[in-house]
A and B are shown apart, each in its own frame.
Chain A
Amino acid sequence: TQLLEQSPQFLSIQEGENLTVYCNSSSVFSSLQWYRQEPGEGPVLLVTVVTGGEVKKLKRLTFQFGDARKDSSLHITAAQPGDTGLYLCAGAEKGGSEKLVFGKGTKLTVNP
Chain B
Amino acid sequence: KAGVTQTPRYLIKTRGQQVTLSCSPISGHRSVSWYQQTPGQGLQFLFEYFSETQRNKGNFPGRFSGRQFSNSRSEMNVSTLELGDSALYLCASSLGKQGANEKLFFGSGTQLSVL
Does chain A bind chain B?
no
Identify the A interface with B (CB < 8 A).
none
